[in-house]
Amino acid sequence: MNRQGGMVKDQDDKVPGQGERIQKVLAQAGVGSRREMEEWITAGRVTVNGEPATLGMRVVEGDVLRADKRTVHVKAQEDRDFPRVLLYHKQEGEIVSRDDPENRTNVFEKLPKLRGMKWIAIGRLDYNTSGLLIFTTSGELANRLMHPRFEVEREYAVRVQGVMTPEQMRQMTREGIELEDGPVKFEKLTDEGGEGFNHWYRLVLKEGRNRVVRRIFEALGLVVSRLMRVRFGIINLPPSIKRGKMAELGDGEVNMILDWVGLSAQTVDEEATEDPRAAEGKIKQIKSAPPHKGQRAEPAKTGRNVAAKGRQKQAGAAVSRGGRNKTKAGVKG
């Protein structure tokens, strides 16, 4: 078949290695994850140069893609934007969704504006949970950090009304507990003390089911009065990022994250099969900062016009570089 407008319409007609799969290009442009883009293509929501896209189609420089209302102009590989990663310190009373019938405060409204891309939230936090939110323009990076098969650790500081018994603490780090949507357990659990009726714990999970931490403590007969995420994989919430503020990571820190999840800075493995544990020996985990209490918010510098050095200073020790404990993200099975 003939090529029209630059796109390769048939696998048998293309020069070997020419072009890239359309779902990969859309994911790299931040439209969505590769898996989501495959679903959009199947549903007829994607076109290439005005023609319906098909799974397996490859596109080359100069092609114009439309995914619903988004337009992506395919660039040469070397001209594509480097993935951007933004850290945001979410406050209670904010939602992580672009659409809300109740018109509540939306975290996306506070993010820097993008052209031809969109911010993808890596792991949501519910309305009453605060702490680390990560945003990226790379759908492949978001998929590597969120997909359950990679078992990326999430660390939380949680304050509950009451105290866990020694038996409950042992149970939650060994056999776990059965919830309505399946079993769950903590990878780590430490008693951080407290005063009066309130008690602090720090825990680590390798999954991100909806409201899973609150549901676990409810099943144990304890009410969560405050919940804060302080780490996601090797990315910590730096004390320098105050509540409601943000900072963009520098290119060096982004490269560390890409390396840790098994992605190249310029190319993304299409089948996402590399084991992130291969990078485990390169990056070690440092202890996350304790919950921020009584801090006053200061403006944070954001945007690509900020120098990389300034971004890294603002973000502080956002990406773990050393410490006693190694990270434990890996591919399941």
Other CB atoms within 10 Å distance of the CB of residue 223? 11
At 88, which helix (H) or strand (E)?
strand 85-90
Looking from the CA of 196 toward its CB, the CA atoms found within 13 Å total 2
Torsion on CA atoms 127, 295, 321, 230, rounded to nearest 10:
-20
Please report the DSSP string for 112-130 in residue order.
PP-SS---EEES---TT-E
- Distance separating alpha carbons of residues 115 and 119, to the nearest angstrom: 11
* ∠ Cα 273 252 299 (to 5°): 115
Instruction: Confirm if 92 and 244 have CB atoms less than 8 A apart.
Output: no
- Give bridge partners of residue 205 from the DSSP assignment: 154
Active site amino acids: 126
